[in-house]
Amino acid sequence: MMLCNNKLFSSIVVGASSLASYQASAQQSSCTIVESIKCLPVSSPPTLDGKIDDWSSVETVEAPLTGALTAAPYPHGPAKIGCVYDTNKVYFLYQIPGLYRFDATDNHKCASVSSMFKIGMDASLYNMGGCPLALEDCPSDSTECDEYKVDIGGHWELKTTEQGVYYATNEDTGDDVVANKDDEYAVSPLCRMDDDDALAANEWEGAWSYVDGNDVSDIGRTDSNSDEVVIGSYVFEMARSLTTISDETDAQLEAGKDIDYGFAFWDPYESLSSDSEADANSGWTDAGHYVTGCSRDWISLRLVNEDETAEDSYDSEIGEAPAPVVTTANVAASYGSSTSTYGLVALVLATTMM
């Protein structure tokens, strides 16, 4: 498994950019909204092992990712989302292109993902439900925001995990003390909690890996044969129960029905565009995640009935496209580049996990 260490710096040095100028230029780009994803029934579900072999016959949707607050496009391209279900569970495949980074001591220097389902009638994708009474804190009476509630499931931060290892569900709470793939609910970004009602549990399970790219900490080493960064993809295989015993904090999924859905990704190199050298090496921020729906719209996730027509299928296929190869200079350019007071940011990865 590839790891990163903020004590061991490679010789990759790139110019840091102004975050404001990066966002301004990025927002000029268009975003194509994915309106729906079809989740098809299967008799033999995929094995959750971080490998995509048993997804080869499943089509995926390419969903653009944009900044949750800025609408700036994710610099490495869209996420691929696949979905199937059986009689008990729904299974998701997420493939997100990006630079590899992992730190066993800091979640912010590891990739992170989450899904979100609409529960309350007035809940919005933007602002995690968007309850106007919870924009600064949770309201004193939590029922005042019930119509803005969202189910945040499989919110996975990776520092305590390893690639290719299956991590199971747990009972009694949404908090996952082993793998930190928490089952949560929210009515706003400042009012988000682990599932905590009397029937709460964590119904999410999964595995992850990083494929087709290289560890950029190798670049510039004397024993390295390459001075190029190959951008690979993070792979997350995740599953949860279709229905749970708690409908207070969990969305309930049913064949033949649609539910509003979104996906989020935290880039461990998000802060690369900071003017501050220290900030640029700090990883992702809570508010800096990228989301589907062009930062504002839900995707309609439909669990297709077996008797529905064959036209109910995905929009695109999983393909074995060659990994893009970029020079170290272009790595900086993909996040934006300009001269700053600090001027230099070391692009590094190393060998300690959070």
- Summarize pLDDT for 49-73 with one digit per residue, the tens: 999 999 999 999 999 999 999 999 9
Q: What is the pLDDT of residues 221-244, one digit of tens each?
A: 344 455 567 789 999 999 999 999
State residue 277's pLDDT score. Answer: 62
pLDDT at 207 over 50: yes
Residue 77 token pair: 């391209």
pLDDT at 296 over 60: yes
Average pLDDT over every residue of 281-309: 91
Highest mean pLDDT of the ranges 154-168, 209-223, 340-354:
154-168
Give the confidence band of 12 by pLDDT, cuts at 50, 70, 90: very low
Average pLDDT over every residue of 135-140: 92
pLDDT at 26 over 70: no
pLDDT at 162 over 90: yes
State residue 27's pLDDT score. Answer: 45
Angle at 292 between CA 287 and CA 295, to 5 degrees: 55
pLDDT at 215 over 80: no
Q: What is the pLDDT of residues 297-326, one digit of tens each?
A: 999 999 999 887 445 443 333 333 333 333
All domains in the chain, ordered by first residue: 13-130+141-346 (2.60.40.1190)
pLDDT at 269 over 50: yes
Give the confidence band of 275 by pLDDT, cuts at 50, 70, 90: low
* Residue % of the chain over a pLDDT of 70: 72
CA 273/CA 303 separation, integer angstroms: 39
Lowest mean pLDDT among 86-90, 182-186, 341-345: 341-345
Which residue type occupies 59?
Answer: E
Q: Are 344 and 9 in contact (CB under 8 A)?
A: no
In the predicted model, what is the mean pLDDT of the chain? 79
Average pLDDT over every residue of 103-127: 96
State residue 84's pLDDT score. Answer: 97
State residue 326's pLDDT score. Answer: 38
Q: Are 299 and 37 in contact (CB under 8 A)?
A: yes
Average pLDDT over every residue of 114-142: 95
Give the confidence band of 271 by pLDDT, cuts at 50, 70, 90: confident
pLDDT at 349 over 90: no
Give the confidence band of 247 by pLDDT, cuts at 50, 70, 90: confident
Q: Three-class SS string for the chain? A: CCCCCCCCCCCCEEECCCHHHHHHHHCCCCCCCCCEEEEEECCCCCCCCCCCHHHCCCEEEEECCEECCCCCECCCCCEEEEEEECCCEEEEEEEEEECCCCCECCHHHCCEEEEEEECCCCCECCCCECCCCCCCCCCCCHHHHHHHCEEEEEEEECCCCCCCCCECCEECCCCCCCCCEEEEEEEECCEEEECCCCCCEECCEEEEEEECCCCHHHCCCCCCCCCEEECEEEEEEEEEECCCCCCCCCCCCCCCCEEEEEEEEECCCHHHHCCCHHHHCCCCCHHHCEECHHHCCCEEEEECCCCCCCCCCCCEECCCCCCCEEEHHHHHHHCCCCCCCCCEEECCCCCCEC
- What dihedral angle (degrees, nearest 10) is formed by the CA atoms of 208, 325, 79, 93? -30
* CB within 8 Å of 165: residues ≥ 6 apart: 50, 207
State residue 185's pLDDT score. Answer: 95
State residue 108's pLDDT score. Answer: 95
Average pLDDT over every residue of 345-353: 31
Side-chain-side CA neighbours of residue 340 (13 Å)? 24
Q: Which residue has the higher pLDDT, 60 or 30?
A: 60
State residue 171's pLDDT score. Answer: 87
Residue 120 token pair: 């309350």
Give the confidence band of 197 by pLDDT, cuts at 50, 70, 90: confident
State residue 148's pLDDT score. Answer: 97
* CB within 8 Å of 87: residues ≥ 6 apart: none
pTM of the model: 0.78
Give the confidence band of 273 by pLDDT, cuts at 50, 70, 90: low
